[in-house]
Amino acid sequence: MAKAKAESVRETYEQLQKNQDMRQLVQIGKSRDKASKDLTAIKQMKDETGRILHDHGKIIQRWLNYFEKLLNEEKVRVKTEEGGANEGLIMNISRDEVKRALEKMKNGKAVGPDQIPAEV
């Protein structure tokens, strides 16, 4: 299939060089532009009032407004209980547990929150 596609592309470019057909050049440019776009799945969406948006620019603006509102509004947090720290309720980690955990780790993996690789 790859060979057939490569042959087809080669024939198309040879024909373009012979004929200098601008329509085919424009068609190829449009298809490449369409293939390079990231948002191809969203064709329409509703705005705040329920109207359907079809224009790509208006859809992008709607997403910007949505995320700006979502990420910048304050949420009321309800405090449920007063309580102290949990000191003493968690058992200490033994050397044996650390040794077994380190033996399970693989070398060359990404570091954790402490920025220390397993090899150390």
Rounded-to-integer distance, Cα 6 and Cα 12, Å: 10
Instruction: Examine residue 46 and state whether it is found in any structural domain, yes or no.
Output: yes
Q: What is the pLDDT of residue 88?
A: 61
Rounded-to-integer distance, Cα 57 and Cα 84, Å: 52
Instruction: Examine residue 93 and state whether it is found in any structural domain, yes or no.
Output: no
* Residues spanned by the domain of 25: 1-37
- 67 in the same domain as 45: yes
Instruction: Examine residue 47 and state whether it is found in any structural domain, yes or no.
Output: yes
Q: What is the pTM of this model?
A: 0.31
Mean pLDDT, the chain, integer: 80
Residues 26-85 have pLDDT tens digits of: 787 788 887 777 655 667 888 888 888 888 888 888 889 989 988 888 877 777 666 666
- 4 in the same domain as 20: yes
The DSSP code for 93 is P
- 50 in the same domain as 31: no
**How many domains does one find in the chain?**
2
Could you tell me what percent of the chain has a pLDDT over 70? 84
Instruction: Examine residue 10 and state whether it is found in any structural domain, yes or no.
Output: yes
Q: What is the pLDDT of residue 96?
A: 92
Instruction: Examine residue 117 and state whether it is found in any structural domain, yes or no.
Output: no
